[in-house]
A and B are shown apart, each in its own frame.
Chain A
Amino acid sequence: MDFTFDAQQNQFRDAVRSFLVVEAAPERLREYWETPTGRSAEMRKKITDQGITSLSVPEAYGGLGMGDVDWVQILEQVGYHGIPDSLAEAAYLGVAILNALPDEHEAIKKKWLERMVAGQARLAIGHPINPLVHDAEIADLILLWHNDELHATTPDKVKTTQRDSIDASRRLYEVEWTPSDETRVLTADQAAPIWAEAVDRAALAAAAQLVGLAQCMLDLSIDYAAQRKQFGKPVGSFQAIKHHLANVAVQIEFAAPVVYRAADAVANNHPRRAALVSHAKLATGRAARLSARNGIQSHGAMGYTWEADLQMYMKRAWALDAYWGDSVFHKARVAEFIFADDAPLGPGETFTA
């Protein structure tokens, strides 16, 4: 039993962090928001140069062949820095779906995985758990669910209508399209397990980002509370503020390990995968919501402005909280697990299958 990340995984996390500190500084994010696509080709190129888009592409296609546990700390960083890029969808989730395609689809697989490594593929993924498809209009390839089948299409063949989110970095689209033999890649029989896994992986990605967001909002609030003075003292010296922020730290401490455990469950297709992922999503959602609330409270009126960076991360957290399954969806899955007649609960059952 060893519940730690290895040196290489930590190194990769640190490299990504150093990279994002510079490339995803809040001023930059605001600039991206203002553009119609909300995305920056330059940034995507740099992300590609960092190897992030190749992370889970198999070595045979020029990638690094890494897995969910390698990804999880990277996704935390992606969340922390709030980058306006559908990286999780494309490079993590999309690649996993492509990887799962059976051999007869080698052509599609090769084409898109190689383009992913080269930083030339944006993937959008449409599943009914989300009412809208992120990045559908600017994607090079759209993977769509239809009655458990897997379809692939491109923006020029579908009708997209953009919908604004409170998180101005998101690019959400209603997508109208007609499934056909031409678009169908996999039948329902083939695709159902792939979609089930994709939902869990996507929820895990959202959970990991939520931990990062919770930590980011906490750090911003700590900085603010240490600097802002009232009554001749830093407001962070008042017990009320200390307790607000300490409460967030407690939530984060007990959300992150749940996410890491869920990453392992997704990687190994654990029979309890659904419940473990849902636990991660619920715990991180709670941590991030509290971090937003106590963060804005600690900022006072400053936190209620567009100008303060906090708002960008709060809005992302509120959006991700209900993305790839809201509380209703995830609580139902935890309930299904723990209330089953023969549920393996109690001491000694944490890591059983």
Chain B
Amino acid sequence: MKLEYTDKQNAFRAEIRGWLDANVPKEPLKSFDTEEGFEQHRQWEKTLFEGRWSAVTWPQALGGRGADLIEWLIFEEEYWRAGAPLRVNQNGVFLLAPTLMEYGTEEQKKKFLPRMASGEDIWAQGWSEPGAGSDMAAIRSTAKVDGDEYVINGQKTWSTRAVYADWLFGLFRCEAGSQRHKGLCFILLPLDTPGITIRPIQQLNGLPGFAEIFFDDVRVPIANRIGGDGDGWSIAMATAGFERGLMLRSPGRFQRTAADLVKLYKKHEDRVAADPAIRDAVMRSWMDAEAYTLATYKTASSLMKGGKIGAEASTNKIFWSELDLLMHETAMSILGARAELLPHVPATSPLDQDLDQWLDAFLFAQAGPIYAGTNEIQRNIIAERMLGLPRA
């Protein structure tokens, strides 16, 4: 054990800090669940790419920096510290890219990765269906071979950012009559292909943050399949592992929120002191965000020595999503009667003071225990696969 950054790591931190200082937009971007905001975020991805910061863990040749996991953590810490925009292409860069690197052909990598890194292609994820949520193996959308193409029919749902995204990666039943985990294919398709209809779904905040996607004889080349015929499930599980585990929920995000919460508490301490539960929750928020960070550094370090992530990825998902809820519920308690207000930006009255984005983030925190595999499912996985308890 040696809990010190190397000179090289410190230099890396200084470099990204400097770049972010100079480049992070001074005015916050609009929500990427609006058309205008989406394009602003796409532009930001391009800016990141031009600085070679859009995909730091990728090889140099693909526009990355070949960063290892510790450098990646440093990048994320600086990113959240700087309050840089949310990553509109996180489905691509953090989920699909690792999958492509592992299972894609050279041709596929060449075709998809550079355009992903530059924000030219923004990706959506198409796994869930009306009848296949927690039970993802119940997928019914089909991909039937016709010559050198698949003909896709069926429906996906809850596809995040699909309203404005360019491409979709999804799982489709490519073997007629196959059941459950068998006979599924992992297929990539452009969302403007004829036969695709996208119906936006409004989320709690009223914005169309996800969508239903209908497929009516949609044709895509078989060459758009990742991995082998019928191997879709195991490839998707690898992708899900990236989502639940390390890549998507970097500790920086929660450390930033916890630090902001401490600031908010201190500003309102005189008023809220009468509710000691608030103070307790603020302290716990900081402690849990630190614990999450430490656990992540520990995992990253052992991965770098050749270790693997297993069922403990499920513990991650529970820990960060419950922490996120705790922090935002606590912020609501501190804001008290003003917490329900949609903030005016810029402020039009003292009522707006400190409202920031707490309410919107509180709503989003409600989704954390649901998406990327619900916390109930994660608890089942922990109990059965990690703890070895008997199955129900």
Q: Mark A301-312, 1 if CB is under 8 A from B, else 0.
A: 101111100010
Q: Are A230 and B134 in contact (CB under 8 A)?
A: yes
A174 contact set on B, CB distance < 8 A = 349, 351
Q: Are A328 and B275 in contact (CB under 8 A)?
A: yes
Give the complex CA separation of A174 and B338 in angstroms: 12
Q: Are B351 and A327 in contact (CB under 8 A)?
A: no
Q: Are B392 and A297 in contact (CB under 8 A)?
A: no
Contacts A296-B370, A301-B370; A318 near B340 (Cβ below 8 A): yes
Choose among A229, A231, A241, A327 the residue with the greatest number of B CB atoms under 10 Å from its CB.
A327
Is B3 on the interface with A (CB-CB < 8 A)?
Answer: no
Q: Are B340 and A326 in contact (CB under 8 A)?
A: no
Is B186 on the interface with A (CB-CB < 8 A)?
Answer: no
Other-chain contact of B134, A231, A305, A328 (Cβ < 8 Å): A231
Q: Are A304 and B351 in contact (CB under 8 A)?
A: no
Say which one of B33-41, B199-207, B228-236 lies at the interface with A: B199-207
A323 contact set on B, CB distance < 8 A = 337
B344 contact set on A, CB distance < 8 A = 163
Is B128 on the interface with A (CB-CB < 8 A)?
Answer: yes
Contacts A301-B370, A307-B202; A166 near B363 (Cβ below 8 A): yes
Give the complex CA separation of A230 and B201 in angstroms: 21
Is A190 on the interface with B (CB-CB < 8 A)?
Answer: no
Give the complex CA separation of A70 and B189 in angstroms: 62
A300 contact set on B, CB distance < 8 A = 133-134, 370, 374
Contacts A301-B128, A322-B340; A239 near B370 (Cβ below 8 A): no
Residues of B in contact, count (CB < 8 Å): 49
Give the complex CA separation of A230 and B205 in angstroms: 27
Other-chain contact of B370, A131, A164, A229, A303 (Cβ < 8 Å): A303
Is B224 on the interface with A (CB-CB < 8 A)?
Answer: no
A165 contact set on B, CB distance < 8 A = 340-342
Q: Are B367 and A304 in contact (CB under 8 A)?
A: yes
Other-chain contact of A167, B278, B329, B340, B392 (Cβ < 8 Å): B340
For chains A and B in complex, what number of residue pairs have CB atoms within 8 angstroms?
119
Of residues 309 to 362 in B, which have CB atoms within 8 Å of A's CB atoms?
325, 329, 332-333, 336-342, 344, 348-349, 351, 359
Return B203 CB to nearest CB of chain A, in Å.
6
Contacts A166-B359, A174-B351; A327 near B204 (Cβ below 8 A): no
Is A177 on the interface with B (CB-CB < 8 A)?
Answer: no
Residues of A in contact, count (CB < 8 Å): 45
Give the complex CA separation of A340 and B348 in angstroms: 42
Residue of B with least CB distance to A334:
B274
Is B67 on the interface with A (CB-CB < 8 A)?
Answer: no
Is A130 on the interface with B (CB-CB < 8 A)?
Answer: yes
Contacts A163-B351, A230-B133, A296-B370; A306 near B338 (Cβ below 8 A): no
Is B135 on the interface with A (CB-CB < 8 A)?
Answer: yes
B380 contact set on A, CB distance < 8 A = 240
Give the complex CA separation of A328 and B131 in angstroms: 44
Q: Are B202 and A164 in contact (CB under 8 A)?
A: no
Give the complex CA separation of A322 and B338 in angstroms: 8
Return A334 CB to nearest CB of chain B, in Å.
10
B131 contact set on A, CB distance < 8 A = 229
A241 contact set on B, CB distance < 8 A = 376
Give the complex CA separation of A235 and B60 in angstroms: 47
Choose among A230, A231, A315 the residue with the greatest number of B CB atoms under 10 Å from its CB.
A230
Give the complex CA separation of A327 and B275 in angstroms: 7
21 A-B pairs in the complex with CB atoms less than 8 angstroms apart: A163-B342, A166-B341, A166-B359, A231-B135, A235-B134, A240-B380, A241-B376, A289-B329, A297-B370, A297-B375, A301-B133, A301-B157, A301-B158, A303-B366, A304-B366, A307-B202, A311-B204, A319-B340, A322-B332, A322-B336, A327-B275
* Residues of B bordering A, CB below 8 Å: 128, 131, 133-135, 138, 157-158, 201-206, 210, 271-272, 274-275, 277-278, 325, 329, 332-333, 336-342, 344, 348-349, 351, 359, 363, 366-367, 369-371, 374-376, 379-380, 392
18 extra interface residue pairs, beta carbon distance < 8 Å, beyond A240-B379, A307-B201, A331-B274: A166-B205, A170-B340, A174-B351, A229-B131, A231-B138, A297-B375, A297-B376, A301-B158, A303-B370, A304-B367, A304-B370, A305-B203, A315-B340, A318-B339, A322-B337, A322-B340, A328-B271, A328-B275
